[in-house]
Structure 1
Amino acid sequence: MAARWLLLLLLGLAVAGVVRGQGGAPDTSGFISIDCGLPEKTSYVDDATKLKFTSDDAFTDAGTIHNVSSAFATPTTTTDRSLYNVRSFPAGARNCYTVPSVVPGSKYLVRAKFMYGNYDGLNKPPVFDLHLGVNFWQTVTVPSADWLGNAEVIAVVPDDFLQVCLVNTGAGTPFISGLDLRPLPSSLYAPANATQGLVLLDRRNFGASGSTVIRYPDDTYDRVWWPWSNPPAEWSDISTADKVQNTIAPVFDVPSVVMQTAITTRNSSIPIQFSWDTKPNHVYPDPGSIFTLYVTELELLAGNAVRQFNVTINGVIWTKAPYKPVYLSTDAMYNGDRPYRGITRYNFSLNAAGSSTLPPILNAAEAFSVISTADLATDAQDVSAITAIKAKYQVKNWTGDPCAPKTLAWDGLTCSYAISTPPRITGVNMSYAGLSGDISSYFANLKEIKNLDLSHNNLTGSIPNVISQLQFLAVLDLTGNQLNGSIPSGLLKRSQDGSLTLRYGNNPNLCSNSSSCQLPQKKSNSMLAVYVAVPVVVIGAVAVFLIFFIRKKKNKSKGTVKPQILGNGVQSHGQNGTGGSLLELHNRQFTYKDLAVITNNFQRVLGKGGFGPVYDGFLKDGTHVAVKLRDESSSQGYSEFLTEKTLTKIHHKNLVALIGYCKDEKHLALVYEHMSEGTLEDKLRGKDRKGRSLTWRQRLRIVLESAQGLEYLHKACSPRFVHRDVKSSNILLNANLEAKVADFGLTTAFKCDGDTHVSTVRVVGTYGYLAPEYATALQVSEKIDIYSFGVVLLEVITGQPSIIKLPEPTTIIQWTRQRLARGNIEGVVDVNMPNDRYDINCIWKVADVALKCTAQAPGQRPTMTDVVTQLKECLELEETSFKGDTSSSYMTESSIDPNSSYNTYTTEMS
């Protein structure tokens, strides 16, 4: 086992999050500090940190608040005011805090604090579990009334809210004293990702005097650095007043004040020795462990003095070579890419190397255990619907995720659990639940529901017609309520054909009219003949008129997009506008009020682009849509709106379909089909709520399908189109991870089929994807889309953004060329890609296609048809390589061609 020495190239990782303000205190935006059990709507500022703490009443609707015993609420016990009161949860198996307004896909430090303080007078410290959302966090074991405990986890939060849940395991009443959230840059604590979290075992500041604790504002992220108490007699403390430079800040941002103290031993023959014990639990009996040691030289060595040492763990060398600390410059060694397992105690020893004249030195250390955060929360649409139902009927015992984990699903819910997709709600039993009011229309948003039992309540009003749209609904029980009116015909039809069991007895005012719960009687044969004959005559007359009208207008029609027959037999039409007037549209037109209804008053934002925000919505028939509404401050406006309309009659399976539009006074909007899996960019960056990285085969299929959509625009339309804004965020994915190109607001068309390029008056698009001839000469051709698509291919291979923030920003193209020129394919492949099988030759082939697409000269780039052909061959190669193979990986150094032509790419970029 070898330590991973952090090199300066790690500075290239992007830094986002809290930074120290110029001349002022660190930025606390995003900090959330909750004092659990503080009286409702009260707050205070902590004396030590100057951070504001608020009551927890806005974050949970369960539990009771208590003050700890006066014997423990004293400065001699703790100066942390948040520990003087608690919230306990005597009822329910699981009780949760829900913290809104977090940034989806971002990394957070979450800290729960505990002091029992005999608040209940029973003097029985409990044992209970903590969950982070639907994933197990750790078991909290309270040993005594005066125990001050912290549970801390570093994890990526998939949603725009975070839940911390306390689970009763039958060993006492769960309670909590405080809850802190601190945003972290994505580059810190790299092992914490979308599927894995880090639970803190210990964080130590060596050489600190007495009981000095370092936290905010000295630590900008409010980590707590505890001094190592009761040091061995052979340890000596050393310190400096000089600032320690943190050259590895993007990866390990350690405060200078922590690094300004250290321990050493009295002579070089004595090692620094310490140990950590793991904390097994019922979920992780053999937890994985990650350790980080922080070192800097604090003494300016004179003459021939040398400080070098080796590190061993349980007698096994951890360092490949003797380590020599750098003067006043932070460095670190850790095993972050490979957690240790199978050991209950880790004994560390820092031993002076043979040539060292000075003893070893150690400034700080952190120890973590690894937990999985890969369990999926319930489907977002189901959660939204059932949460609205919970609020309407004020259901108190529903808390946390509705379906996950399976053992803690909400009472009355039945859920389905697939291996790779979120749980879905398939049944709701709210019988005898004391419900009143009308039947919530949100039941119709539970699209997978099969059984709905609302019997024996006090429900009033009529049965919503939208319930008829639940295609899987097999049992609907409304017995014993106060419903009135009639039963929707859709439910009656399904009841009569046997596909739905419908129970509605003991509703005195329901079906009070004898005919209101019966389907209309079939008409007589004579009348049926009339009903059939009349429409046939009318349709025939209309057909004759249309044929006459089309023939008359045929020779006058110019400037239209010619219909094209695609390879799969799909016919496509498009239309060019003239004179700037609104084009004739053949899709649905909505009013602004319609959009408000569709989006539930624009409640949920899916994202935001140059045109404006995109909202989640549902049509009356249940169709899931995305509504893109123009922002009044947007630089894009009416012309981009018309441009997207130009493509309304162009249809291809790999282009996002436009369902309708809104042009209502100043309001402009586009209604698209909803793509439930979000953008390719979010998948590659780990920002989507599912949190699972794409496999290589999935990535390959996505870029192939995207290329097919672009090929259609380039070749199958007349006139041809250039997208002009091809990027990973404009490639959307549906539930089956099928890719579709989106956002046609910047699309432009060739005037004639024979044109080779179009000149424009300004550059549009996205920095990092712009072809050089477009950025400098404003020349638009299919080749600029091909260049941009080459950048997307590199993103798919590497997982890196189009612009990589090294000490100086560099393009993904240059970054990749430099590594491939050295034959370093392992240094290019996305480290977050699941460890599945892939043929390394396929990786090389796609990289070759990408670099050809991004050639400087447009003439050297392939056509999109060529790209589609190459990607199909890659996919066939991938599938052929692993046909019948059950191995977990396929990647060897011998697969790399030592005579490859990648060296030619290193000098091509200007």
Structure 2
Amino acid sequence: MVPDDFVQVCLVNTGAGTPFVSALELELRPLKMKYYPQVNLTQGLVLDYRLNLGPETGTVRYPEDPHDRVWTPFAGDPNEFREISTTQTMQSDYDPFEVPKVVMQTAITPLNASRIIELIWEPVPQPRHPSPPGHFIIMHFSELQILSSHALRQFDVRINGVKVSGDVTVSYLGTGVVYNKEDGPYRDSHYNISLNATENSTLPPLMNALELFFAMSTTNLATDSRDVSAVTAIKARYHVQRNWMGDPCVPKTMAWERLTCSYTISSPPRITSINMSFSGLNSDILPSFADLKALQYLDLSNNNLTGTILDTLSQLPLLTVLDLSGNQLSGPIPSGFLKRIQDGSLNLRYGNNPNLCTDKNPCHPAKMKSKLVIYVVVPIAVIVLFVSLTITILCLLRQKNPGSVNNSVNSRNETINYNHSSLGLETRRFTYIELKKITNNLQRVLGKGGFGYVYDGFLHDGTQVAVKIRSQSSNQGDKEFLAEVHILTLIHHKNLVSMIGYCKDGEHMALVYEFMSEGTLQEHIAGIDHNGVCLRWKQRLKIAVESAQGLEYLHKGCNPPLIHRDVKATNILLNSRLEAKIADFGLSKAFNHDNETQVSTNVVVGTLGYMDPEYQATGRATTKSDVYSFGVVLLVLVTGRPPILNNPSSMSTSSGCNNSYHGATSRVWWMCVCMVTTKSMVYGRSLTSRSSALQIHRRVDQP
């Protein structure tokens, strides 16, 4: 049940990593309150089966069911049941569920002399729910045959042998329903649903439709919609820069900063306290504060609020403390506040408002207009205006000095070059001084690449980061730097390295990444550091699949899609759980995914050995160029060999991590790769080669 005109969707880190979302599909259907009375604010229903009993084929859905329910056909065992049907329309006006007429026009009934319908339901256990969870069973009935005066169809309903209804008799083309509500949900792991003909019945029972649900607790209610609307208006009016996103009070551990809520079991949370002191608030007090009816404490002190105090705030029934001190409020204190101050129900703090009318600073009534204003004040104002215009003109004449003009332009250019907004980025920006503090004066080097050195660092909140600072000798300039910053600002995937911020401070350029404690994939393959621990085959396969998922996201999940152009083992980083993430997007290019348009560049970029030969020859990069490079990464991952061998004769001697691992296995695979062109590789699933120069030698130590 969604009681409001909006739905908050919140993704929370439960300990397995920072949440991210690539797409969101939300389907809501308006239903009348009489439908499914088991549903309320604290309990929802999750569908297990919704069956149209009788027909063998033909699913019923929209538009036959305007509420978009899907009714699956169920004929049952032909040796036990037969179908009865009608083309007549149901005549009964009473149907609390409004089952489509095409569903109610068919039913099952027992064959021959059998006088019982028996259906077995074994619910699938639901994760993160009590075992067994609560279940609701809804059965729909309608008589489809014209019965003679001596015929009677009458039956009762039993669940696991327990009678749950009185004697059921349905009139011709009428509707009836049996369901559990008042007694609460059933809590069994196995259900035997049986319809038994009574002793007086001359005909066997029938059933037209069946719905099976399990109950879902929804006690984690959203914040009261009136409070959400009010606080959202406050956030927009004062441009609040805090982490105010999603539902203000839910989840409880992630309530909005400096905001307190009250929580009850069966009612939505309410906002009870807001502290916006020292928040840089301007203009007057927004009337939306008066819409927070559960508010008990409101602190708006030490801001720049102007205007008068709203008397409507005194009408908040639970408000006990209102702090307005340290602002620029004016006018008298409203009578509603004076009354509540007198009876002791409200503590109003209004000090340090120089224009506010109080006992110590009484308001003086405005005097009547006098001709003195016309004869004295107006001439003085004209004189002041004339003097101001004269000074302005002199200043403009002085600015015609060329030196002054150049200084002004230089200052403006400096702003344009290094202003945060000019880069069009929405991420954190660091100064070079801040980076030196973060890295403890560039003390610990994590690695070095074509861009420059990578340093270990810690933010003020203790978060460990990697800081990549451009060296003066780097071939990558502003173009590559800004390309990587823009790309990392736009893309988000669990298998791509996340950017925390950047630095563009004069000639200093740097990128601040999430810290990947286990370094590069190449280091693990080569056996560098990591205490000589080698990757197991299961770990290598997992790294390959995760890298492929990140690459697939660049090609198919981005808009526009991206070609990395430098996929290699050193650009695949591993975190503490050996999860793989692709890094280094300075050479990436966008392309047209609809027609696989190639990206043409004047300069071929990438790393020898990993580059697609066709791209090297033509300078035209496609997604297949990345796939080729990834194929080489797979070969490096399997063989432990670099893509280019300086001494091919040493192929028979293994080294590094590959040697220590392969020496313990019963089989060893050696691959000598002269040239491999991978053209039809599906990311991480298959690898085909059109090169005849691929030679694979296998040696079996044991059968």
Fold match (TM-score > 0.5):
no
User: Whose RCO is larger (CA < 8 A, sep 6+)?
Assistant: 1
TM-score by length of 2: 0.39
Q: Which has the larger radius of gyration?
A: 2
TM-score by length of 1: 0.31
- Please state which structure has a larger fraction of its residues in strand: 1
